[in-house]
Amino acid sequence: MNYRFSQRISTLQPSAIREILKTASDPGVISLAAGNPSAQAFPLEALRRITADVMAQTPIPALQYSVSEGYEPLRQTIARFVSQRESISCAPQECLIVSGAQQALDFSARCLCDEGDAIICESPSFIGALNAFRSYNVKLVGVELLEDGMDIDTLEQALSQNPRTRFIYVIPNFQNPAGLTTSLAKRQTIYALARRHNVMIVEDNPYGDLRFRGQPLPSLKSMDTDGRVIYCGSFSKVIAPGLRLAYTIAPQPVIAKFTVAKQCADVHTNMLTQIVCQRFLMEEDMDAHVSRLRTLYKDKCDLMLSAMDAHFPQTVTYTRPEGGLFLWVTLPQETDMLDFCRRAAARKVAVVPGNAFNVDENMASRSFRLNFSTPSDSQIQEGIAILGELL
């Protein structure tokens, strides 16, 4: 039969990155395209021990249906966790457990936007968020991301010109894809503008714990005096992404609506994982674990940067991230970036073309994204050398 799909899904393309990942899983390819944590980053011994213990001691709660809000001890532990690590004060009732931060981004559009409403986001921005937002037939308004965060003049203009804006979407730390961090001054300005225009902010912070240079900056949520910030935190980068576990911190009326969305979407998040991660947070030394990850990623980032310094011509520019997993390379004017990515693929090096992260994918881009967490050290050196030859 001829299938007829909804407008919201018909216009969406499969995520370019997830499609690239499929081809990049060919063992002959050096993939600098992924966003996976390093396999060395997983706290294997602790997860093994706690999982066995939960299955031995308390298997029934791990296997039975539970409430949509999430495992109560985990909500409590997270409330303490974000208070200590991000100076966010919240009650457990202001925390919802989700199946990956992607789900919280999806719920933000689902619960806050009618069709035709607008969302303002950084340009470039995280493709998973952009696609989730698009799938609710909203208008995406991109604001250029500068070295220290969104261009404030353009943001003001975007807010004025789009009275149906429901929220501003920000990844303040080591942004995906650009690797840039929003300055304290800009965080304050973005919050003030959201207030003046009475819009919400969705703050996505999957990489915050992975700062390996510079000083930590306060989250937008920690400045949130009037309950307009929805904060998305994730265990994908500090525990393990395959477990699909994350959380959102928001005012109780927002959590109540997100909970209704959660009932519709998948009832509740995997209970075995919720219990294991709650115990991990309680029993393990998170500071020591995170500090180990920072060293791991700093070394990989520095290795990639020094290889780039050695192999790339000076006309090519790139970000020097203070944390996270990504850096962003911009080719000289007149260069055909897509052609470059294709030639790299032909030499079996995968990178992600920058236009994939634009609000309008057809908008030209001279940039591409590199990931330093997934490849091995020798793959980083070899991959960058090949890219350097092609440049």
Write out the binding residues for a copy of itself, residues 196-225 only, by CB under 8 A. 198
Q: Is 63 in the site for a copy of itself (CB under 8 A)?
A: yes
Applying CB under 8 A, among 182, 273, 278, 371 the residue interacting with a copy of itself is: 273
Q: Is 265 in the site for a copy of itself (CB under 8 A)?
A: yes
Which residues make Cβ contacts (< 8 Å) with residue 155, sequence separation at least 6? 120, 143, 168, 190, 193
Chain positions 70 to 109 lying near a copy of itself, rule: CB under 8 A, are: 98-100, 102-103, 106
Query: Quick one: which segment of 37-45, 153-161, 205-213, 352-360 binds a copy of itself (CB under 8 A)?
Result: 37-45
Q: Is 116 in the site for a copy of itself (CB under 8 A)?
A: no
Applying CB under 8 A, among 93, 154, 222, 270 the residue interacting with a copy of itself is: 270
Q: How many Cβ atoms from other residues are within 10 Å of residue 85's Cβ?
A: 16
Could you give the string, one character per residue 138-177, with x where binding to a copy of itself holds by CB under 8 A and - elsewhere? ----------------------------x-----------
* E strand residue ranges, 8-64: 30-31
Q: How many Cβ atoms from other residues are within 10 Å of residue 359's Cβ?
A: 20
Strands 139-146 and 118-123: parallel
Per DSSP, what are the bridge partners of residue 353?
Answer: 368
Taking the complex as a whole, how short is the minimal distance between the CB of residue 273 and a copy of itself, in angstroms? 6
DSSP single-letter state for residue 13: P
The rounded distance, in Å, linking the Cα atoms of 81 and 85 is 6
325 CB-side CA count, 13 A: 23
Fill in the amino acid letter for 187. Answer: R
Q: Is 128 in the site for a copy of itself (CB under 8 A)?
A: yes
Which of 64, 215 has the CB closer to a copy of itself?
Answer: 64
In this structure, what token pair is assigned to residue 86? 């991000």
Closest CA to 101 of 202, 220, 248: 248
Applying CB under 8 A, among 96, 111, 140, 387 the residue interacting with a copy of itself is: 111
299: helix, coil or strand? helix
Q: Is 284 in the site for a copy of itself (CB under 8 A)?
A: no
Taking the complex as a whole, how short is the minimal distance between the CB of residue 5 and a copy of itself, in angstroms? 5
Q: What is the largest CA-CA distance in the chain?
A: 63
Applying CB under 8 A, among 91, 267, 310, 363 the residue interacting with a copy of itself is: 267
Q: Is 310 in the site for a copy of itself (CB under 8 A)?
A: no
The rounded distance, in Å, linking the Cα atoms of 148 and 295 is 24
Taking the complex as a whole, how short is the minimal distance between the CB of residue 117 and a copy of itself, in angstroms? 8
Give how far Cα 170 sits from Cα of 103, 143, 147, Å.
16, 10, 14
Chain positions 236 to 255 lying near a copy of itself, rule: CB under 8 A, are: 236, 240-244, 251, 253-254
Chain positions 4 to 23 lying near a copy of itself, rule: CB under 8 A, are: 4-10, 12-15, 18, 21-22
Taking the complex as a whole, how short is the minimal distance between the CB of residue 8 and a copy of itself, in angstroms? 7
Asked if residue 237 lies in contact with residue 206, where contact means CB atoms within 8 angstroms, the answer is: yes
Taking the complex as a whole, how short is the minimal distance between the CB of residue 282 and a copy of itself, in angstroms? 19
